[in-house]
Structure 1
């Protein structure tokens, strides 16, 4: 399930990037209003802006929903797979400093007078 959602997430992200790159900026509206090649566009003179705007908004909503679902699925997976305790060195293999056999009275620190 997670893999299918991840593939859908990547496809939606790529299509969203493509739709954003296809849109014209605000400065291009002035030239299109005087008829400079607007009849040669695929969607007509005003259809491309409306279609691309709605498609971009819809894809953005799907993108955010998939982001939330994938984030929720990735945090609610098996706890042992995300636990790093298996990476720690077992107690038998840890190097410990040698134990001192001295009593507290034989310590190297002189007593304070």
Structure 2
């Protein structure tokens, strides 16, 4: 349950970090001062910091997804041994 909550939070953070990055045109990253030298992330702009943050969050997200898939597989594995009773069917009489 905790992994699912962390995955949702990481998903929101990944989307936010992608939207804040400066693209080729005028997008949300430049609206926060991405092109100016006195921006929040320094004179190089948010590209280096935000791209590394996005890669890091994506790597953590990927590892947690694989972990959740592995744990879900173990939860769904049942060790139930049922005895199968074979029913003998009578053949219809041949006319």
TM-score by structure 2 length?
0.68
Write the distance in 1 (CA, Å) between the matches of 2:18 and 2:67. Answer: 23
Aligned residue runs from structure 1 range 11-30, under 5 A: 11-27=9-25
Tell me how far apart the structure 1 counterparts of residues 93 and 68 of structure 2 sit (CA, whole Å): 59
Runs of 4 or more, structure 1, over 3 Å off, are: none
**How far, CA to CA, are the matches of 2:10 and 2:17 in structure 1?**
10
Listed as ranges, the gaps of 5+ residues in structure 1 are: 81-101, 106-113
Secondary structure of the residue aligned to 1:53 is: helix
Would you say the 8 A contact 2:10–2:61 is kept in 1?
yes
1:65 alignment partner in structure 2: 63
Indicate the structure whose relative CO is greater, using CA pairs within 8 Å and at least 6 residues apart. Answer: 1
TM-score (norm 1): 0.58
| Number of residue-to-residue matches in the alignment | 78
Tell me what 1:103 maps to.
93
After superposition, the CA RMSD in angstroms is 2.7
Contact 2:17–2:50 under 8 Å retained in 1: yes
Structure 1 match to 2:52 = 54
